[in-house]
């Protein structure tokens, strides 16, 4: 057997036992013996790498849950009675479900409050360098995030309360959707607490707050349309 | 506030989870995620080499899975189906990333597998046995073209058999074997080049040390 034949044999049977002719060739050819040893060393290192089993952080599942709900892919309540709050069977988005039935909403100060939240988010956002990976953890100050959650919660309670005055089912649906976003926020906050220096964790938390602000904005938009 | 925790989804079987997920059962979606997320995440992480992209791709792979789960009829193993989908999601991302980086000059002599430039490797052979470890492999794998990377990660790192890879990658078993061999050969070249440059640096540092000692 020649070296070229040996390599062709390796390509056809990269892991199988060597045929007798190939084994004989290895006894006499240092080049092919080194090749085989190197490939074996690569295989051993690869298997060692494969033994590590990294776990995705909880925020990945939280984000999937939100998206599943947004796309209306989840049709029935969980039989366990906990976990996701679920929409009735429908191929509609989670906003659409309650917006189609939304009542008139008259919150005179709502826009002002939304503007305050938006300003808070914008201030937080502009304090960050363009590349998230370059952001030092100090750039995303704890006070900037601390004020955001309670502010959003307070506004949401007002919006939900005003919906309740007109249509209890819409308020319930809104609460469900709030529950999902709050779920995501809780997971992200936990992640930030556990990894305070991780800019990605803070980015996810910012995104979660933004989703809650978006929810508030859509509710207010809807109320304005109804008023008109 | 209600949250979904792993213990709340019950321990129903994969087949039951699939059947219930096809009807939109939330707990079934989570059960499927619990069963397969670590393997999918590991695959994504090893293919792209950074956690941010791996998280993003894992999310995308599971969303695609859940969108298509109604079409799963059980002709192939569910895990094979999921991993085929995951590999496709990763390859799409890798190809989108690598395309703009290829200049016109680099495409004049395309690499057989990637279509990218063929690298030249010089110098005498360096023995890898005993010197190559997980860290070296991890670094070198990131330099492989996407196709080689997929086969190598699936087979040598994730432990798939060639018949499974053939289904995942939509190729023949023979093709999977020959691509694996080429991937290993390319990795060997990359690792040898790495070892040579390390040896060069050591020699230069040694020379500089001796030089400074001579002038003292």
> Please, which pLDDT band fits residue A223 given cuts at 50, 70 and 90?
low
Task: Name the residue ranges covered by the structural domains of chain A.
Answer: 3-51, 58-227
The partner residue sitting opposite B129, judged by closest CB among A38, A79, A200, is: A38
pLDDT for A81 equals: 37
pLDDT for A52 equals: 87
Domain B9-101 in CATH 1.10.1740.10? The answer is: yes
CA distance A126 to A113: 20
- The CATH class that applies to domain B124-209 reads mainly alpha
HEC per residue, B158-207: CCCCHHHHHHHHCCCHHHHHHHHHHHHHHHHHHHHHHHHHHHHHHHHHHH
Task: Name the residue ranges covered by the structural domains of chain B.
Answer: 9-101, 124-209
Q: Which residue has the higher pLDDT, A220 or A62?
A: A62
This complex has an ipTM of 0.75
Rounded (5°) CA angle B122-B125-B131 = 120
CA distance B168 to B162: 10
Are A167 and A101 in contact by the 8 Å Cβ rule? The answer is yes
A-facing residues of B in 32-91 (CB < 8 A) are 33, 37-38, 41-42, 45-46, 51-52, 54-55, 58-59, 62-63, 66-67
Contact B9 A85 (CB under 8 A): no
Task: Please spell the DSSP secondary structure of A78-120, one letter per residue.
Answer: -TTS-S---PPS-SS-HHHHHHTT------TTHHHHHHHHHHH
| Residue-wise pLDDT tens digits, A161-214 | 666 655 666 666 677 777 777 777 888 788 888 878 777 777 777 777 777 777
| Residue-wise pLDDT tens digits, B107-140 | 333 444 444 444 444 455 666 666 778 888 999 9
Q: Which residue of B lies nearest to A39 if distances are taken between CA atoms?
A: B184
């Amino acid at each position: 057997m020649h070296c070229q034949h040996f390599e062709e044999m390796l390509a056809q049977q990269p892991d199988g036992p060597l045929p007798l002719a190939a084994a004989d060739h290895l006894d006499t050819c240092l080049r092919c013996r080194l090749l085989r040893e190197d490939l074996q060393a690569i295989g051993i290192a690869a298997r060692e790498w494969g033994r590590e089993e990294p776990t995705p952080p909880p925020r990945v599942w939280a984000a999937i849950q939100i998206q599943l709900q947004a796309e209306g892919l989840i049709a029935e309540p969980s039989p366990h009675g906990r976990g996701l709050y679920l929409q009735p069977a429908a191929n509609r988005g989670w906003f659409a479900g309650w917006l189609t039935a939304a009542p008139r909403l008259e919150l005179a100060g709502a826009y002002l409050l939304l503007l305050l939240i938006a300003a808070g988010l914008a201030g937080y956002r502009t304090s960050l360098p363009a590349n998230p990976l370059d952001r030092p953890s100090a750039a995303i100050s704890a006070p900037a995030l601390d004020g955001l959650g309670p502010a959003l919660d307070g506004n949401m309670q007002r919006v939900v309360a005003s919906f309740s005055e007109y249509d209890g089912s819409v308020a319930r649906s809104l609460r469900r959707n709030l529950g999902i976003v709050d779920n995501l926020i809780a997971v992200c906050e936990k992640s930030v607490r556990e990894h305070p220096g991780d800019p990605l964790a803070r980015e996810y938390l910012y995104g979660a707050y933004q989703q809650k602000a978006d929810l508030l904005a859509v509710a207010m938009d809807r109320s304005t349309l109804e008023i008109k | 506030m209600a949250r979904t925790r792993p213990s709340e989804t019950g321990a129903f079987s994969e087949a039951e989870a699939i059947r219930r997920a096809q009807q939109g059962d939330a707990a079934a979606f989570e059960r499927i995620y619990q069963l397969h997320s670590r393997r999918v995440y590991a695959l994504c992480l090893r293919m792209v080499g950074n956690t941010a992209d791996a998280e993003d791709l894992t999310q995308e792979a599971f969303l695609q899975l859940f969108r298509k789960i109604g079409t799963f009829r059980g002709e192939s193993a569910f895990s094979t189906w999921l991993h085929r989908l995951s590999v496709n999601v990763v390859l799409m991302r890798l190809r989108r990333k690598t395309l703009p980086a290829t200049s016109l000059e680099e495409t004049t002599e395309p690499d057989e597998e990637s279509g990218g430039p063929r690298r030249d490797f010089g110098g005498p052979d360096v023995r890898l046995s005993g010197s190559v470890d997980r860290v070296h492999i991890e670094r070198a794998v990131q330099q492989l073209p996407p196709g080689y990377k997929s086969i190598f990660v699936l087979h040598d790192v994730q432990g798939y058999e060639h018949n499974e890879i053939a289904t995942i990658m939509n190729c023949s078993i023979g093709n999977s074997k020959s691509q694996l061999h080429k991937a290993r050969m390319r990795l060997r070249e990359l690792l040898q080049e790495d070892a040579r440059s390390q040896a060069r640096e050591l020699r230069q540092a040694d020379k500089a040390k001796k030089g400074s000692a001579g002038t003292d």
